[in-house]
Amino acid sequence: MRTVFWEDDKVKMIDQRLLPGEFVIAEFETVEGVARSINEMYVRGAPAIGATGAFGMALAAQNSPAIDRNSLLADLAAAKELLDAARPTAVNLTWGTRRLLELAERTLLPELDDIRSALLAEAQALADEDVEINRRMGFNGAAVIPEGANLLHHCNTGALAAVDFGTALGVAFACQEQGKPIHVWVDETRPRLQGARLTAWELMRAEIPMHLIADNAAGHLMRTGKVDVVIFGADRVAANGDAANKIGTYKLAVVARENGIPVYCVAPTSTVDLNLAHGDLIPIEERGAEEVTGIGEKLIAPEGVPVYNPAFDVTPHRYLTGIVTEEGICYPPFTKSLAEAVGKAQARVEENRKARG
């Protein structure tokens, strides 16, 4: 099933905070609730957050008491501001909310209920496109994975991080569909353990060979020749190819370069922010101390200990072999190849929109 979806006039999603112990579908009837679901990580992963933001905008339109166009647009602008603030690093969130707001601003539909219906249809189209995009991206990435390769993967980028199929982990799923044998080393990914809780769960369900490792084991595996390719996703990619991803990604890329191992970032073009020249301009979200000082309800650090908890780091583009997108693999110079990929993707979206009428 999909990670996030619309049903019964509600935004519904898998509550990823509870996996792997419990499988629960959470549902939200207000924009405030959807924003909270993003901030508190019921849903996470850049593409999934983008789809959730779009559905949140559709929900805002449905719930708006507006009786004229300008009032509806004002309500949607307020909803966008609330949703965008939920997590600042993932550009897909602002991309999804902006796509819905821009549709509302340019539509010539005279009736407010027709505009509301059009926004819901657009959010659903965005979610459907995400699945198609991820499959194309996965198979593009699979082309550079040797048969029998050992992949090192950080955080969670599978179906749970998207609407379905996934980004970097989608490469592993594509290899499986092609009958290409692979093995995945799964970083536990402290402090929220997305690798241990989510990636391991997805790979075991798919019966893809894998081993869970402590984050600090990755360097040892690379030095001893047990890693062939490093893959990870991204929450935002700057115009020059610098990639923000879950904290700990940067050191993996550096150690991989030291050991001559190719490194691929796997991200849809919706994650590429051509408005940011380089990665130092990407806002880095800082999260609460409790994520570091405890695991679940168990305290693992002294009470009152000072904590610094950045959720992401930036990997400079020089450490990336390539960036896998739905439009193909981008290679250096990334300023050129990423811009071309984004242009192709935008043209495809516009074609699809025209086809829908």
Residues 6+ away with beta carbon under 8 Å from 178:
139, 142
Are the CB atoms for 195 and 188 separated by under 8 Å?
yes
- Characterize 277-308 residue by residue with b for buried, 16 or more Cβ atoms within 10 angstroms of its Cβ, and e for exposed: eebeebebbebebebbbeeeeeeeeeeeeeee
Are the CB atoms for 232 and 322 separated by under 8 Å?
no
Are the CB atoms for 152 and 229 separated by under 8 Å?
yes
Residues 6+ away with beta carbon under 8 Å from 276:
236, 238, 239, 282
Q: CA 102 from chain center: how many Å?
A: 22
Residue 177 burial (CB count, 10 A): 12
Angle at alpha carbon of residue 266, lines to 5 and 318, rounded to 5° = 150
Indicate the DSSP class of residue 310.
B
Q: How far apart are CA 263 and CA 217, in angstroms?
A: 17
Positive or negative, the Cα torsion across 275, 50, 37, 112? positive
Are the CB atoms for 196 and 112 separated by under 8 Å?
no
Going by DSSP bridges, is the β-strand pair 298-299/312-315 parallel, antiparallel, or unpaired?
Answer: unpaired
235 among known catalytic residues: yes
* Residues shown for the chain: 357
Residues 6+ away with beta carbon under 8 Å from 172:
151, 153, 182, 184, 203, 206, 208
Q: Which of 215, 235, 242, 313 is catalytic?
A: 235
Which residues are tagged catalytic? 235
